Every structure is written in C-alpha cells, then in structure tokens.
Structure 1
Amino acid sequence: MSSDLTPYTGDRLSHARAFTGLTDEALRVRATVAARDKHADDLWSLTQAFLTTDTSAGVRLSPHTLRAYRKGVEVLVEHAAANAWNVLHPGRREPSMFVASLTAAGLKPATVMARVAAASALYRALRWAGATDADPFADVKRPKDRTKGIVKNPPYRADVIQAMLAEADVQERVLLLLMAHAGLRIAEALAVRWEDIDLPARRLRVTHGKGDKARVVPLSARLREALTALRAESASSGGHLTTFRAYSSAYERLQKVALKAGVAHEFRGFHAGRKYAGTQLYAATKDFTRVAGFLGHEQVDTTRRYVEVPEDDLNDVVEGFR
C-alpha cells in the first residue's frame, strides 16, 4: 500500500470501538494488564482509543500529533521498565525523575514538553479506562526554553522561497505557496480540495483547521497562477490538489526541491514557510490581530511567536520624538 495514502479515520474509529464496546470491568482489566506488563503497544492502543473518542479533536487529531504521542508513550514505558515503575501507582518523585532523565539525555525543551504531553495523555487514558486515579504529571515542572521560537526557527528568507519555487514542479509549487502565501499548516495544505478554492473570488476555504476551525484566506496572484497551471495539468477538477498526501512524502519532495535549488542547508520543514506568510502580512498591516485570523490562531500571543519583527522597526518612530 502506498505511503501517500492518508490514514482512514474510519479505521481509527473501528479501533476505538474495540475498547468502547467493552464493559467497564473488561476495559479496566485490559488497561490494568497492559500497565502491569508495561506493554507499549497495548498502552498506545488504549491511549489512541481515548484520544479518538473522548477528546475535542477526536478522529480529526492529525497523524503528526498521533506520531508524537505514540513516541512519547513508548519512551515513558521504556523508562518505566528500566526503572521498575509501578505504572498504575508511580512513586511521588518518579515523574520528576522521568522529566529530568529526558533533559539529561540532551533533548530540547520542546521535545521534553511533547514527551510529557504524551505521558499525561496515557494517564488520562488509564483513568478513562478506570484502571487508576493517578495523575502523576499534573504538578511536574516542565523545562522552559528561554530562546524564542522565531529565533530558533525563523521564517524562510524571500530568496530561499524564490529559489525553491524556481525548481519546483507544479504540485510542489502549489504546496509551497499554500504555506508561504496562504499561511496554511502542512496538514491543511495537503487536505485542500478543488471545491475549497474560489479563483474568481481569490479565496480559499480551510474547512478543517486546527481544532476543527474553518477559515477563509485570500489567494495571492502568484498562488492563483500556480493553481491555474495545476488545474490545466490535472485530469480532474475534483478531489485533492496533490497526488501525494502523506506528511513524509511532502517533506521528502520539498527537501529534494531545496537540494536542487542549492538551499538544502536552509530547509527547515514546513512551519518556516507559514512564518514567512505571517511575517509578510504583519509587515504590511502592523496588526497582529489580523495576522492571527489569517493564520488561524485563537490567541494573538501565539501569532507573536510566528512573526519576525525587524530590530530597527521603531527607528523611524523614535526619530520623530519631541
């Protein structure tokens, strides 16, 4: 089966029904045995069933997020086995030691936070199953990253975007521009269908953004041109824009484009393109609220982490002080 096929949420829902269809006692026993045996696959299956049926994201939780949660559950179970944890009733200091061990292993604060989020999800699943009342990560201190995200992963420079566009094929060009001009997340970009696009009105509807929120974004002239070229090449005007739908396939294709363009050392995945869009829009509007709506952020504080503000942004203003 091709890796470009997107996960079928019906399979995830069917998997969840294998747990929700159990009696309360049977579910409790199944979760208890998995925790006792420190069986990573079974504990992940339980966690996935919980995330699918008892969280706000549900079946729309992105494959990327699920991969991160699964890795976190595996890391926790491995640590628990190596340190003789009682998973259902961990010692009071053991969760803090787990976090400390991740930091000591050299993981970045953001990665540690992701691992702790996965561990918390596992214990929420165990409580959901009635196997424990423990919430060991509720009060655990997380490491703080003092370096701003915009510094660690800044927006792509304009010359990098232009170099990649020059080497991209029509599908890759559309994908790049959906992020760098329309500000879409990679999952949103890969999910766009022709029916979501209104070229005469110069807009695109994101039907299922993060948190399942819809929004409408404007289409730049460059993106409309690329979409028109893609439609002319496509055998059908229906369905999704790209023939590749998996995150890994999209990453590999754009990484190769960056290599051909001679900017492989500048390639940092997808989010830097989205930050490019946010930074360009802020430079034109000086309005974080409008940029937040464009990027699909609920909180303006989140948007501030996406926008690179020039260090000399206030020079002209201060110059006129009296």
Structure 2
Amino acid sequence: MTLVQYTGDLLAQTREWVNLHDDELRRRAVRAVAEHDIPTLVSLTTAYLAHQGGSGVLASPRTVEAYTLGTRQFLEYATSQAINVLRPGRHDAQSFVNHMLATGRKPAGVQLKVAAASCLYRALRWTGATEADPFRDVKVPKDHTPGIVKRPPYTEDELADVLEQADVHVKFLLFVTAHAGLRISEALALAWDDVDEGGKRLHVRSGKGRKGRIVAMSSSLSRATRLYRNLYGPGGADHSDGRRTTVTTQVFRYASVMTARYHMEKAFTLAEVPFRGFHPGRKYAGTRLLRQIKDFGRVAAHLGHESVDTTRRGYAQLAADDLKDDLAGW
C-alpha cells in the first residue's frame, strides 16, 4: 500500500517541503522551475507562506487563494515570455507589472500580484534555488481615486428594493452586512453564542487579522434577528415544513461565501438591482453612520478597521455640502 500524505490544511501542506533535507529541498525547487511545473511551485509558495509568512498557518483562506492565483499568473507570464525564473533579467519584473497595467488591471490588483510573485521568490530563496529578488524595486503607480468612488456603497433605495424581495435568511444576512457592517467571512462565522439580542450587539470573534470586536445592532437588525432565530435558531421551527429541528451552533446555514452569494444574487435580481458584492453593504454602513455621527474613529471601530485612513479612503464619505449648516452663521 502506498501512503499519501494528507494535505487538507496549511500545516499539512507545509510538511511536504519543510520535512525535506536542504539539498532535496533545493533540488525539487530547481527541477520544478526547469520543468515549468506550476502546481509544484504554487505548492512551494503556499508552504512558505504558511511556514514563514506573517500569519503563518493562521493565514486566511482568501489570502492563500489570492497568493495562489497571483503566483500562477506570474509563472504563466514567465513561461510565455521565456523568462529564466531563477536568473531573471533586471527588467523582467517591471515588464510583468507594465504588462498587467497595459491589459487594464487596476493598480491595487497589480500590487496584489506583485506581492504574490515576491512571495514566490522568497520561497525560492528559502530553498536555496536562487538569490534573485527581482520585485524588490518594481514601481506600481498609485491610484488616487478613493475606493468609495471606484466601488460605491449600495443606496438606500437599492437596499429597500432588495429587502422587499429577500427571504428571511437573505434579509438577515443583508442587515448583518449593511447595518452591522460585518465582512461576509465574519458574518458566516457567527455562532448563536455571539448574538446578544438583549444587549443588541454581535460579538465578532474572527475579524480580519484575527481581531475580535463588539458590534452594535440597529433596530432593523434586532427585529430581523428575532424572526430569524424563531425559524432557524436553537429549537426554532424550520419554515420548510413547520417541524422543530435540530440546528448547529452556527447562525447562518450557508456553508460558504459562494453559496451566500448565490442566494443574495437571486434577491438582487428579483429587485432588478445589480449585485456588486457584499462590500458595498459595508460601505453603506460606514457612509450612513459617518453622516450621522461625523466621527471617523467610531465608524472605523464599527467596521473593524485598524486604521482610520482605511475607513476614510474606501468605506465612508461625508456629503459634499456637509459643512453648510455649520457655516450658515459665519
């Protein structure tokens, strides 16, 4: 019987590489480059990210997915351009950046691809396969258009139209993202113990960077929570047949972001509102709250941002004539 090593999580995936002798580690990396073995080089990059990266094995699935895609895209480009990956020319990295910009990619997206490619080269240096660091001095132009302008929040009317078409489950999720301002990953990770209806607050335990926070509930979210709990909470009646059901500790019955997106898109389609993802809901929460309390710091805390600048650039915006009442008596 042949034993196959389990690779179902990040820690397991690193073992394929970190358990190798240094000479074998280098030999496999060099061979993968020579054979244009992209899956193996992606595996190496993932192993390095989990072993030596800032978050280690706690790196989020979305980070791993983004780095996997970015690494693959650079290696495909390098193959198509006959770039010697272990000994790249001094213009190759910048040419990759310029190629992506010329094809219409936004600077923020290009920066993410550069981060992935840089991680690949850190991994190759870690194996001893090369000393090259081609992305060290590359230049990616800054995009000075604020994120909230490029990707604006949903409007009040858009959300109202969708809520009219949404079922109880989708409506509750919409309020969690557009009033409580939770990221979709934070919303789907909620457990019933995290929902404090009496205190009108949610306990986010799996925030970005593994930071927890307490989030206040709006009145609409509180009402939606009560209805949702009656149907799907512990001991609740499943609306499909009216019988009492045994439920899990998780609040949402969607197992993945993809499934949540599918059901949310259906409600948006029925309302004839373009679905632009879950983040415009967070931006709605940030913008509405900022215009009400005029305090970037409190809005940043509500959204779980470490920096107020993140809130200011991409998630909340005061009205252009916000100061008119304050200046009226001048």
Q: Same fold (TM over 0.5)?
A: yes
**Structure 1 residue 72 displacement after superposition:** 1.1
Equivalence map 1:118-157=2 (5 Å)? 118-157=116-155
Higher alpha-carbon deviation: 185-194 or 24-33: 24-33
Higher alpha-carbon deviation: 149-158 or 139-148: 139-148
Higher alpha-carbon deviation: 15-24 or 85-94: 15-24
Equivalence map 1:255-270=2 (5 Å)? 255-264=265-274, 267-270=275-278
**Structure 1 residue 38 displacement after superposition:** 2.4
**Structure 1 residue 25 displacement after superposition:** 2.3
**Structure 1 residue 226 displacement after superposition:** 1.6
Q: Verify: 1:278 aligned to 2:276, yes or no.
A: no
The CA RMSD over aligned residues, in Å, is 1.8
Unaligned runs of 5+ in 2: 1-5, 233-244
Higher alpha-carbon deviation: 75-84 or 311-320: 311-320
State how far apart, in whole Å, the 2-side matches of 1:228 and 1:72 are. Answer: 43
Q: Verify: 1:288 aligned to 2:296, yes or no.
A: yes
Q: For residue 251 of structure 1, what is the amino acid of its counterpart?
A: R
Q: Verify: 1:184 aligned to 2:192, yes or no.
A: no
| Structure 1 residue matching 2:152: 3-state secondary structure | coil
Unaligned runs of 5+ in 1: 1-7
Identity, % of aligned positions: 48
Match in the other structure for 2:320: 311
Equivalence map 1:161-310=2 (5 Å)? 161-234=159-232, 235-236=245-246, 238-264=248-274, 267-305=275-313, 306-310=315-319
Equivalence map 1:29-68=2 (5 Å)? 29-68=27-66
92, 98, 102: which one aligns with 1:94: 92
Higher relative contact order (CA closer than 8 Å, sequence separation 6+): 1
**Structure 1 residue 182 displacement after superposition:** 0.8
**Structure 1 residue 129 displacement after superposition:** 2.6
CA contact 2:7–2:13 (8 Å) conserved in 1: no
State how far apart, in whole Å, the 2-side matches of 1:24 and 1:236 are. Answer: 52
| Structure 2 residue matching 1:95: 3-state secondary structure | helix
1:168/1:57 Cα in 2 relative to 1: closer, same or farther (>3 Å)? farther
Larger Rg: 2
State how far apart, in whole Å, the 2-side matches of 1:84 and 1:24 are. Answer: 28
Higher alpha-carbon deviation: 222-231 or 40-49: 222-231
State how far apart, in whole Å, the 2-side matches of 1:83 and 1:10 are. Answer: 34
CA contact 1:174–1:226 (8 Å) conserved in 2: yes
Q: For residue 206 of structure 1, what is the amino acid of its counterpart?
A: V
1:216/1:89 Cα in 2 relative to 1: closer, same or farther (>3 Å)? same
Q: For residue 277 of structure 2, what is the amino acid of its counterpart?
A: G
1:129/1:170 Cα in 2 relative to 1: closer, same or farther (>3 Å)? farther
Instruction: State the aligned residue count.
Output: 312
**Structure 1 residue 238 displacement after superposition:** 4.0
CA contact 1:31–1:43 (8 Å) conserved in 2: yes
Match in the other structure for 1:18: 16
CA contact 1:171–1:241 (8 Å) conserved in 2: no
- Post-superposition CA distance 1:34-60 (Å, at most 9, x none): 222222111111111122222233333
TM-score after normalising by structure 2: 0.89
**Structure 1 residue 115 displacement after superposition:** 1.4
**Structure 1 residue 215 displacement after superposition:** 0.8
1:9/1:193 Cα in 2 relative to 1: closer, same or farther (>3 Å)? farther
State how far apart, in whole Å, the 2-side matches of 1:296 and 1:202 are. Answer: 17
